[in-house]
Structure 1
Amino acid sequence: MEQELELSAVIGFQGKVNGGLILHPDNEHIIYPLGTTIVVRHIISRTQQFLRGHDNDISVITVSNTGKYIASGQKTHMGFQADIIIWDFDTLQVIQRLKLHKVLIQSLSFSHDEKYLASLGGQDDNTLVIWDVATGKALCGNPVGTNTANQIQFFNNSDSKLITIHNYGIRLWTADLINKKIQFQDVNMGQIKRVFSCVVIDPTDSFAYLGTKTGDIVEISLERALFKRFGPQKRLFSQGINCVNLLANGDLLVGAGDGTLAKIGSKDMLVKSEAKVIGAVTSITMTADTTHFFTGTSKATIYWCDSDKINPELRNTCHYERINAIAFPYEYSELFATCSLNDIRVWNMKTRQELLRIEVPGLECFSVQFMADGKSIISGWNDGKIRAFLPQSGKLFYAINDAHNHGVTALMPTTNCQRIVSGGMEGEVRIWRIGKQTQIMEASLKEHRGRVADVRINKNDTQAVSASYDGSCIIWDIKSHTRVMCLFESTMFKQIVYHPDESQLLTTGSNRKVTYWDCFDGQAIRMLDGSDSGEINALAITKDGNNFVSGGEDKKIKVWDYDEGICYYNGVGHSGSISKIEISPDQRYVVSVGSEGAIFIWHTPEKIVNKTQ
């Protein structure tokens, strides 16, 4: 039986779920979804706990008034039911799993007394349902009409009154939970047409303030179901308003799609103060006294702000686009580097804080490695250059211009730090001699006909092996620059690793197989079905060679026994395809990165760690 791989930590915040970043009422924890997982992080100690019960990406999350319950909803495939899960915050256990809606859960809201949960399906479902939290039973439900609804919200002082906001309209609902009936009233908006994106209700349930895609705020009277006024005066927020919240004095906080955070006076609807952050603002979550708030953005950043001055202070950052590679320094497990569509970042393994960011504007980094002496970080870029950076300052150390024609897709340094073997988009493998002042190309090996996906070097720096999308893997003699052996398979090779004793090679690729090869005669010894549903992109092997780890487009991390060829551990958490996996040099952690921009750090199972020590 496959066991679940234990998740140690996550470096990641997608920021794509509107209202997804929530400060728990205890003012000590922040809660946010990351793919299929909910992360509960202690603000001071930065310890993390994980809620894992969804089998697809989480689309919405909410917390009840006292913080006793968390509710989350997911998206799923067309025609299938989308689950809602109610969690107990203290035990982090599933209390209820609710199934009724199809395809997508659009919005969730707890009643003020925490007895009921209202849920709203996406546009394929477009149904409103009220659930009993204690029993998990649906009490009543109703289609919300042909006009797509975007959010549902209970009133602050009633468990029978709700509001839904739509693309072009607002409805007030009154539920009779004893007779299981629900009635609605449309708010009279006159000639005004708006796509409503978010809503907040004042503490007395007299007024509601709604953010619109147009970039303004609409105030309505809830008692009269009537439009009241627009705001702010003579100002529209670019790219629409994504979130809105109320301060204790009645002023409004809004977050816009262009990265604007603004405070708007409730009496005169004028902008009192504002600031810009990186990315579209998707969440504003306030402390209990509303003096401070956290805000999350679509560029995977979290800021801490003073409600009075609106002075965003960066608290958390991570990649927000796909990560292409990951690397540890030679025999050092305290930090690692990742490279992505935008930059190279160096992370502290314990604190999970970013230590260094290296950016080359407008360019994508395909591959990254540490030199064994720790004196430089080498990287391959889509402009065809190899760049080396100093590991503490991040300054450019040297660059090899025109290393490859269309991008450097793979590289590996020798352990004696004298050579780099690189592979390119055009299929060439090149060997570079690295000197103090000069970097000279020793050889250009042109036998692959497709992109070089991976390059590895053996322990004594005598041979290198390259894997290509054209279905060939070639073992090269580094010193004589000749081909030693060639392996062929009808697949696009994605990664290749040496077994530690270097008698065998392990490859994987688009055929979803993990193949063992004999280094002596180049024959395939064994083939394993690595995945049922997607290509395998990544492999890593333990120091003793007894186990290896794989990952790919099925979003699962699998830990295998090398000799038995059996998968014993399974890790689920990624919401995008896994692009690379590395095992830390001390063998205690498996680090995986993927297309969603998140970094997952897994505990290596104790049995495996003990064997490698």
Structure 2
Amino acid sequence: MEKELYVDSYIGFKGNISNNLILIRKEKEIDKKYYKEQLKYIEEEEYLENEKKKKLKSVYNLKNIDINHNYYELKREELKYNFFMIYAIGTNIIKENILDNNRTIFKSDESEINKLYVDKNKKYICCCKESKLISNIYIYDFENKKKPIILSLHKFRTVDISISNDGKYLLSSGGHDDKYLILTQIENQKFIYKCLSDYPYTNISFFHKTNNFVIGSGDGYISLIDIEEKKVLRKTKLYGSINSIEMRNKSTLFISIYENIIYVMDLINNNHYVLLLIHNHYVNDLCFPFNYNYIMYTCSYNSVMAWQFYDKKAIYLKNIDKGKFIYYDKKFLNIPTEKRKKLCKLNLMHESKINNSLENKKKKNSLQNYEKINKNLICHSIKITNDGNYIALSIHNNIYLLTSKYMKIITVILNSHYDFCNVLIFYNKYDLITAGNNGDIKFWKFDKGKYLNVNTINYHSSIINQIILYADKYLCSCSEDGLITIYNIQESTLFKKIIDINNTRYKQISLNNQYDILLCCGNNNIFMYYDLIKYDISKNFYYSPFHNVLSLDIDKKGNYFITGSDDYKIRLYEFKSCTCLYIGK
């Protein structure tokens, strides 16, 4: 597996994970004689080190000593290449040599830097400024031997920029207040092409070998534009706002969408399909190791994942709390400690603090002494019994049963799930069904004032968003993995798995008892009506790509349903006609 991951490049992510940090590898001008001498010295050192480890293995029978060639591979590369880390501090850009820590400072005006960019030929370092009037674009010479070129092209904010492979043209796109796409000649700063869209162009990039460029916009259109003819060659509509575009081979595009999915598109015949990946948040960016097509890296708000296409599985996952992440494909590296304070400080997870406080509390208190609930913990779910006598609270990974009148704790389920219980419901009067953060669902029997775990099912691979009882016999569940399951509680068997043929990942559900229909909402805002009598999809409708539904509920008569989304708006729909009646905050 380690050999399969060998590649020749540093990789940095442009999304929230590393918003203003780029890693560059550039060839050195080296003396051949000096290079051969140093290479021979490294090979001898590697040989002696390996022999030493082999001897330790054989003499002391130490099985855990592995021969790792990564260190010496890095030493060889350091002879041929310079490794630079480019980042923004305040209003200036720093180019730092990773090996010797020499820094070059590129100064600019007092406006905030919202994007950094380095062209593929390592000729220019660019930054986009955000201001109250005009967004300036600074183009610096990589070696800092020439004066910077300053372009004032867009209002307020420049969303994305790209430089052609021959270094002649700059392509830039404005934000919501300036939806222009502008192509500029760098040397004489002349306009070549300019167009306006209803939505901002969120991602733009040139082809690998030609000066044709690909653009993706907020309305979901992918366009191929020819510079010489100044016209759109092809245009394709996708569902959702486009975040990132990466090109593989000669004509294959990988496109990450705001709604947490990735499209694979062939530019020659305009065919595209959905590549199903699992993130708990939007996919902000994606990239590939240099010269490798079967491994892809994606980053979302708080995680980085590596995907292997042959096995269709995640081979690496790192969760980060609003931190920064850098990856070198021959070895996972952190920035040294003295730099991490400056650039890559990883905040401690809030949950880890909670775990520590709980562990300390467990040592002091037994179950009988659980008389108070820690006020610093988060309540994930709350339910009241039908008779109104008891309330169940899911707080972190514990579940509390309290009296509704005096809020007295009756019993506590300690460590009900591995991480925390995200949602719970009552059934059979006081029995509980709980769903965890890792896709597990547990059934609890209330007996003699305590809860006993009688069954556990694991059909989901991610956090479960909702569980619903249907006809007091079936349990419907939905998860961030996009799968909907219907489980027969009485027979303890999986009755139905609902997977949409359009690769829509349904993450919210609600039950219409009046019509026996399960309303499902997908990650790209496709709503599905699933008939629980015929066990078939009755209809679909599509609303808008610019928000993600986080909660869903239907009134008792089944005439209306309401959604809450991440754009902080509430929407009221009529159930039969699927029309939106009201939008409010």
Which protein has the bigger strand share? Answer: 1
Higher share of residues assigned helix: 2
Compute the TM-score of the two structures, normalised by the length of structure 1. Answer: 0.42
Greater RCO (CA < 8 Å, at least 6 residues apart): 1
- The alignment's TM-score, normalised by the length of structure 2, stands at 0.44
